[in-house]
Amino acid sequence: MVHQKRVKTVLNKHKKRDDWFLDDYSVNPYEGCSCNCLYCYVRGSKYGENMNDGLAVKTNVREALEKQLAVRAKKNEYGIVAVGSATDAYIHHEEKYRLTQGILQLLLKYRFPVFISTKTILIQRDIELLKQINDAAILPGDLAGKVPGVILAVSLSTMDEGIANMLEPGAVQPAQRLQLIRQLRQEGFIAGVNAIPLLPYISDAGDELEAIIAGAAAHGASFILTGGLTLFGNGVADSKTLYYKFLQRYNASLIPLYNNLYGDNFYAPRQYQHALKQRAAALCIKHGIKNSIL
């Protein structure tokens, strides 16, 4: 069921620039997401409390966003805007509602740079609009000349289609996402892969991790970012609960390993994260791909 919602504000200013994606702002045209990823960090947070009740469409998003952009532009407070930080900007509802397209038109009008990561191929519809933004965007002074006006990415957690079907039932297949990267690169964009989250004991090591990084490199990705899995909450619709149900179906023998790794925490231990970063960095060197946007 799709709900309609009016908002007073929609452009969120971060306290500090995101270290990975370089965005200073975020805007979400929808609440909820048709990709329906079981591990989504939004589940288990206040923003994911009502995901099971259906998706919300922010009907006045353009009106609210224009007011905020006009103020920021007048003050010369330019920064990269992440479109779809708590939802996918190109969920299948976007075909009908075109809220993301409207947001991009406003970002072009006010000359704000853009970051988008997606798990669908609907972004193909807006390639020409994104090219216009790329040419017109005003970057903050410390990023000018270092990055373009548009940075694009796809998100991957595994190259295994069966696992992807269980964990990301509303997303396109991993191979299609890599083909999208190839297309976006051919169109002249900086476009990379967010291998976030990598799945412990499934896609975080060995042949599977190398397949993701090698696949990104083979399809011409500009960069690949890697990060671990967070498991929030213990409610029936929270990511930890849903992910453990996936483990029960996929390979129940992994559950004790996850219990040891996470315990009562949302994050894996720092030493695990460091080791993952080191493995990924070595593979990036091997396959000749950057492991950061800058």
DSSP secondary structure, the chain, as one string: -EEEE--S--EEEPSS--TTT--SEEE-SEES-TT--TT-TTTTSGGGTTGGG-EEEETTHHHHHHHHHHHHHHTT----EEE-SSS-TT-TTHHHH-HHHHHHHHHHHHT--EEEEESSSGGGGGHHHHHHHHHHPPPPTTTTTTS-SEEEEEE-S-S-HHHHHHH-TTSPPHHHHHHHHHHHHHTT-EEEEEE-SPPTTTTSSHHHHHHHHHHHHHTT-SBEEE--------STTSHHHHHHHHHHHHHGGGHHHHHHHHTT-SS--HHHHHHHHHHHHHHHHHHT-BSS--
For residue 30 the two structure tokens come to: 């929808």
**What is the C-alpha separation between 60 and 80, in angstroms, rounded?**
22
**What is the C-alpha separation between 171 and 163, in angstroms, rounded?**
12
**What is the C-alpha separation between 220 and 289, in angstroms, rounded?**
9
**What is the C-alpha separation between 124 and 221, in angstroms, rounded?**
16
Q: Give the Cα-Cα-Cα angle 183, 152, 52 (nearest 5 degrees).
A: 110
**What is the C-alpha separation between 72 and 86, in angstroms, rounded?**
22
What are the sequence ranges of the domains in the chain? 2-287
- How do the pLDDT tens digits run along the chain, 294 residues long? 788 999 999 999 999 999 999 999 999 999 989 898 999 978 765 544 445 456 899 999 999 999 999 999 999 999 999 999 999 999 999 999 999 999 999 999 999 999 999 999 999 999 999 999 999 999 999 999 999 999 999 999 999 999 999 999 999 999 999 999 999 999 999 999 999 999 999 999 999 999 999 999 999 999 999 999 999 988 888 899 999 999 999 999 999 999 999 999 999 999 999 999 999 999 999 999 999 999
This prediction's pTM: 0.95
**What is the C-alpha separation between 148 and 158, in angstroms, rounded?**
28
Confidence (pLDDT) at 46: 53
For residue 227 the two structure tokens come to: 């990060």
Confidence (pLDDT) at 51: 52
CA distance readout (Å), 293 to 147, 169, 269:
8, 28, 25
How many beta carbons lie within 10 A of that of residue 15, not counting itself? 5
**What is the C-alpha separation between 79 and 21, in angstroms, rounded?**
12
Confidence (pLDDT) at 55: 87
- Domain 2-287, classified CATH 3.30.450.20, yes or no: no
DSSP secondary structure, 2-30, as one string: EEEE--S--EEEPSS--TTT--SEEE-SE
Confidence (pLDDT) at 235: 87
Greatest Cα pair distance in the chain: 57
